[in-house]
């Protein structure tokens, strides 16, 4: 712009302040406002271009233009916030949907698939068992596993069909949420499957949180299920809980039969992958692989320092 020294120039700058306030950086708005004030004062002091009180008129127009520009700026900022919030909500909904899908998949894999594996194994073994007691064990296992699978399916269907805002009632934990009880029962399952199995665990794991015990139970179920499915001819197996001051380790081993490749005992697929993912979220780790003619699954969960100190105090007393 070429400044002609007339009041029209200042009036144009005052009106343009609305666009500047709405679109420009704050330092540009401040500079423009100072320019309008300086030119208005200069013209009022050195010339007679402005009518009496014209300076106040221009100041009023500049103030109104500034407020109008700031109002448009606030509206644009508010719209941007709404757009960002909507995008965040969409991401949260997608995350919730994925978590729900993972929850359903975990329920299918950890619960129903495990029970169906036991049913299939004992159903195949039933015609080959001449011993009445062995047949009774197989029939009992089939019946119990079928009831658990049916209960899991009903619970899963209820979860999928539930349209209420309240969370569904929590189901009873497998093996009462006690890892010692879980590995003892799983050891009996392997023995029923014809695999000599040793079990070693403390009856009291006060240092373990309920979440840690549930994670170890899920890993133990997955490891035993894989042995039954993929290595039914194992020479022996062992399930142990190793207590350390800073961690608790679940160790599941099965010795491969001669001539059986290590890959026959691997598998697990989703189960071991999900187990590793869950443990990592709680600071734990999961390793699985062949070692000296056996397939080893090692799951470790950390023990909080205060829990370790408490357990040490109890042991001292």
Taking only the tens place, the pLDDT of each residue in 131-170 is: 777 778 778 878 887 887 787 777 777 766 665 544 444 4
- Residue 258 phi, psi (nearest 5): -55, 135
pLDDT at 265 over 70: no
Q: Determine the pLDDT at residue 258.
A: 63
**Sorting pLDDT into bands at 50, 70 and 90, what band is 129?**
low
For the beta sheet containing 236-243, the strands, ordered from the edge strand earlier in sequence to the opposite edge, are 197-200, 236-243, 247-255, 294-302, 285-291
How far apart are the C-alpha atoms of 275 and 222, rounded to whole Å? 9
Average pLDDT of the segment spanning 98-107: 73
Other beta carbons within 10 angstroms of residue 242's beta carbon come to 14
How far apart are the C-alpha atoms of 212 and 210, rounded to whole Å? 5
Average pLDDT of the segment spanning 206-215: 78
pLDDT at 105 over 50: yes
pLDDT at 204 over 60: no
What is the tens place of the pLDDT at every residue in 41-83?
877 777 666 666 677 788 888 888 889 988 998 998 899 899 9
pLDDT at 243 over 70: yes
Tell me what percent of the residues of the chain surpass a pLDDT of 90: 5
Helix segments in 107-178, DSSP class H = 114-125, 132-161
Q: Determine the pLDDT at residue 4.
A: 62
- Residue 247 phi, psi (nearest 5): -160, 165
Residue bearing the bigger pLDDT, 109 or 45: 45
Q: Determine the pLDDT at residue 202.
A: 65
pLDDT at 198 over 80: yes
- Using the CB atoms, write b or e for 296-313: b if 16+ within 10 Å: bbbbbbbbeeebbeebee
Q: Determine the pLDDT at residue 312.
A: 44
pLDDT at 200 over 50: yes
How far apart are the C-alpha atoms of 178 and 286, rounded to whole Å? 20
Q: Determine the pLDDT at residue 172.
A: 53
Residues 6 or more apart whose Cβ sits within 8 Å of residue 51: none
Query: Per the confidence metrics, is the pTM higher than 0.75?
Result: no
pLDDT at 294 over 80: yes
Residue bearing the bigger pLDDT, 126 or 168: 126
Does residue 313 come out as left (phi exceeding 0), alpha (psi in the -120 to 50 range) or beta?
Answer: alpha
Return the bridge partners of 254, or none.
237, 295
Average pLDDT of the segment spanning 290-312: 73
What is the tens place of the pLDDT at every residue in 4-35?
666 677 888 888 888 988 888 889 989 988 88
Q: Which helix (H) or strand (E) holds 214?
A: helix 210-230
Average pLDDT, the chain: 77
């Amino acid at each position: 712009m070429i400044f002609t020294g007339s009041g029209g120039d200042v009036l144009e700058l005052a009106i343009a302040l609305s666009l500047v306030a709405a679109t420009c950086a704050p330092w540009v708005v401040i500079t423009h406002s100072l320019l309008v004030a300086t030119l208005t004062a200069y013209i009022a002091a050195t010339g007679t271009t402005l009518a009496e009180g014209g300076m106040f008129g221009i100041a009023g127009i500049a103030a109104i233009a500034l407020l109008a520009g700031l109002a448009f700026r606030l509206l644009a900022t508010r719209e941007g916030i709404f757009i960002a919030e909507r995008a965040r909500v969409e991401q949260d909904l997608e995350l919730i949907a994925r978590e729900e899908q993972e929850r359903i998949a975990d329920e299918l894999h950890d619960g129903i698939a495990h029970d169906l594996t036991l049913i299939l194994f004992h159903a195949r073994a039933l015609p080959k068992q001449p011993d009445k007691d062995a047949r009774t064990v197989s029939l009992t296992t089939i019946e119990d596993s079928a009831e658990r699978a049916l209960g899991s399916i009903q619970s899963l269907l209820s979860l999928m069909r539930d349209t209420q805002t309240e969370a569904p009632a929590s189901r009873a934990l497998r093996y009462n949420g006690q890892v010692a009880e879980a590995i003892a029962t799983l050891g009996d399952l392997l023995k029923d499957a014809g695999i000599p199995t040793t079990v070693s665990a403390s009856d009291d794991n006060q240092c373990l949180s309920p979440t840690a015990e549930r994670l170890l139970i899920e890993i133990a179920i997955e490891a035993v299920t894989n042995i039954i499915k993929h290595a039914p001819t194992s020479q022996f197996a062992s399930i142990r809980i190793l207590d350390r001051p800073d961690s608790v380790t679940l160790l599941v081993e099965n010795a491969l039969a001669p001539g059986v490749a290590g890959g026959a005992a691997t598998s697990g697929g989703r189960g071991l992958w999900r187990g590793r993912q869950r443990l990592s979220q709680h600071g734990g780790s999961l390793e699985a692989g062949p070692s000296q003619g056996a397939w080893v699954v090692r799951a470790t969960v950390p023990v909080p320092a205060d829990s370790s100190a408490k357990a040490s105090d109890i042991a001292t007393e």
